């Protein structure tokens, strides 16, 4: 069964301290031949999706042996892809559906078991859909490890090196992503120099095989930075960059919802609260609202996407000064919202 826990990770190889949450895929709680919940079986290219299920196998224990004579291999339940469809352009995927990941470290143990045409196993990540993702794969027949971007269903130029993989042997694969930077290790050693790819900012993670490869996976863990809604990132950055701001709130209709609500604020407890008529009117009609108190002014402006459509309302609370007017409040507030608009392509960018 899938378990989730939150912990502070201090032993990451790239020393990325912002990685704080952890998801562990424990296949030991499933019955043999059962399909783990929370995943989608699909395929890139020709043929049918793979056959993913739990099998019993000799797998490494997750703990260090207590002595040199201690047994480090035992019978454990593992995730297996057992379909053997002999098609060259056939890439089965088993994608975890319940969360997207941006910055993360994923580790898994894997074993290439059988295959006449191919003997491969790997991890797909930053998955947008079945036709757009990255993957790292090992090959026992090809004696290599490679990183591939897949864009619109087409495999792009790989990063590939020789590696003496053996069929029937367990290995540990580690992939670290920090923004566009990617690191890949096998059994604790870098296999490529640190490299960058800007094709995808974030996405799902899943298991990958090719053609008639029969492959096993065990002890899979994702350590990651919990995803922050982009609207919240914009609010946090504006507060940092404009010290005269007292508060900043953003209202929009989240993807999958029908009502305007607060999607970003300095106070997390406010997020999700319904919008007032003023914020709704700002989005629907592009109107500007202004209010003045003793020590502050509040101005609400529309935020536009790249097509010029009003997709959100931004409420700015600013320190007031003698002679404060609506006109000079607008002069102060407008550049802040314009800075945000430069980075917003669509409503989905804000709330997903």
pLDDT at residue 20 greater than cutoff 80: no
224-252: b (≥16 Cβ within 10 Å) or e: bbeeebbbbebbeebeeebeebbbbbbbb
Closest C-alpha to 263, from 276, 249, 247: 249
pLDDT at residue 13 greater than cutoff 60: no
The DSSP letter of residue 203 is: B
Residues 199 and 324 in one domain: no
Closest C-alpha to 75, from 54, 96, 98, 102: 54
Q: Which of these three, 193, 224, 255, is where a domain ends?
A: 224
pLDDT at residue 5 greater than cutoff 60: no
Place of tokens 């930075």: 225
- Distance of alpha carbon 193 from alpha carbon 180, whole angstroms: 14
CA dihedral 241, 246, 251, 254 (to 10 degrees): 60
pLDDT, greater one: 168 or 225 = 168
Residues 174 and 37 in one domain: yes
Residues 218 and 237 in one domain: no
**Containing domain of residue 291, as a range?**
230-351
Closest C-alpha to 319, from 342, 292, 284, 286: 292
And the tokens for 281?
Answer: 């009117």
And the tokens for 234?
Answer: 């914009």
Average pLDDT of the chain to the nearest whole number: 89
Residues 198 and 290 in one domain: no
Closest C-alpha to 286, from 305, 259, 258, 261: 305
Q: Which of these three, 191, 224, 257, is where a domain ends?
A: 224
* pTM flag (> 0.85): no
| pLDDT grade for 62, boundaries at 50, 70 and 90 | low
Asked if 181 and 196 touch (Cβ cutoff 8 Å), the reply is yes
pLDDT, greater one: 28 or 164 = 164
Q: What's the confidence (pLDDT) of residue 61? A: 61
Closest C-alpha to 79, from 24, 43, 28, 139: 28
Residues 235 and 106 in one domain: no
pLDDT at residue 17 greater than cutoff 60: no
Closest C-alpha to 178, from 221, 127, 126: 126
Q: For the residues 29-41, what does the mean pLDDT come to? A: 94
SS3 state of residue 138: strand
Q: For the residues 80-84, what does the mean pLDDT come to? A: 97
Q: For the residues 122-141, what does the mean pLDDT come to? A: 97
Residues 288 and 305 in one domain: yes
If one counts the domains in the chain, the total is 2
pLDDT at residue 63 greater than cutoff 80: no
Q: For the residues 2-18, what does the mean pLDDT come to? A: 38
Q: For the residues 136-165, what does the mean pLDDT come to? A: 96
Least confident range from 207-211, 245-249, 291-295: namely 291-295
- Distance of alpha carbon 146 from alpha carbon 184, whole angstroms: 9
Asked if 121 and 127 touch (Cβ cutoff 8 Å), the reply is no
Residues 140 and 246 in one domain: no
**What CATH number did the domain enclosing 52 receive?**
2.60.120.560
Residues 200 and 255 in one domain: no
Q: What's the confidence (pLDDT) of residue 294? A: 83
Q: What's the confidence (pLDDT) of residue 72? A: 57
Q: Which of these three, 202, 224, 246, is where a domain ends?
A: 224
- Distance of alpha carbon 63 from alpha carbon 172, whole angstroms: 14
| pLDDT grade for 268, boundaries at 50, 70 and 90 | confident
Residues 77 and 211 in one domain: yes
pLDDT at residue 1 greater than cutoff 90: no
Q: For the residues 68-72, what does the mean pLDDT come to? A: 55
Q: For the residues 242-257, what does the mean pLDDT come to? A: 91
Residues 215 and 258 in one domain: no
- Distance of alpha carbon 25 from alpha carbon 327, whole angstroms: 56
- pLDDT per residue over 297-347, tens digit each? 999 999 999 999 999 999 999 998 888 899 999 999 999 999 999 999 889
pLDDT at residue 287 greater than cutoff 90: yes
Beta-carbon contacts of residue 89 (< 8 Å; ≥ 6 apart): 45, 46
Q: For the residues 246-255, what does the mean pLDDT come to? A: 93
Residues 25 and 129 in one domain: yes
Residues 246 and 202 in one domain: no
**What CATH number did the domain enclosing 286 receive?**
3.30.450.40
């Amino acid at each position: 069964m899938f378990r989730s826990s939150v912990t502070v990770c201090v032993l990451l190889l790239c020393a990325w301290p912002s990685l704080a949450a952890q998801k562990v895929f424990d296949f030991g709680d499933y019955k043999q031949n059962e399909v783990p919940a929370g995943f989608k079986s699909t395929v890139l290219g020709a043929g049918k999706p793979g056959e993913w299920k739990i099998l019993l196998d000799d797998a490494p224990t997750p703990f260090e042996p207590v002595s040199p004579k201690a047994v480090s291999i035992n019978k454990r339940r593992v995730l297996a892809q057992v379909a053997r469809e002999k098609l060259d352009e056939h890439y089965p995927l088993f994608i975890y559906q319940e969360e997207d990941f941006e910055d993360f470290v994923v580790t898994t143990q894997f074993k290439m078991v059988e295959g006449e045409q191919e003997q491969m196993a790997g991890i797909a990540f930053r998955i947008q859909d079945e036709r757009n993702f990255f993957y790292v794969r090992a090959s026992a027949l090809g004696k290599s490890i490679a990183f591939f971007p897949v864009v619109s269903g087409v495999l792009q130029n790989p990063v590939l090196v020789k590696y003496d993989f053996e069929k029937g042997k367990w290995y540990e694969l580690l992939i670290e992503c920090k923004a566009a930077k990617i690191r890949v290790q096998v059994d604790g050693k870098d296999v490529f120099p640190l490299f960058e790819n800007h094709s995808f900012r974030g996405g799902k993670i899943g298991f990958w095989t090719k053609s008639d490869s029969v492959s096993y996976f065990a002890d899979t863990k994702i350590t990651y930075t919990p995803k922050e809604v982009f609207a919240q990132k914009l609010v946090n950055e504006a507060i940092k960059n404009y010290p005269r701001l007292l508060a900043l709130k953003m209202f929009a209709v989240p993807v999958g919802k029908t009502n305007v609500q607060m999607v970003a604020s300095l106070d997390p407890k406010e997020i999700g609260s319904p919008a007032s008529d003023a914020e709704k009117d700002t989005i629907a009609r592009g109107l500007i609202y202004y209010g003045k108190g003793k020590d502050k002014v509040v101005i609400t402006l529309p935020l536009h996407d790249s097509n010029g459509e009003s997709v959100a309302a931004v409420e700015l609370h600013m320190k007031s000064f003698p002679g404060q007017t609506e006109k000079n409040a607008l002069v102060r507030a407008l550049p802040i919202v314009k800075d945000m608009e430069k980075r917003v392509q669509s409503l989905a960018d804000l709330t997903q």
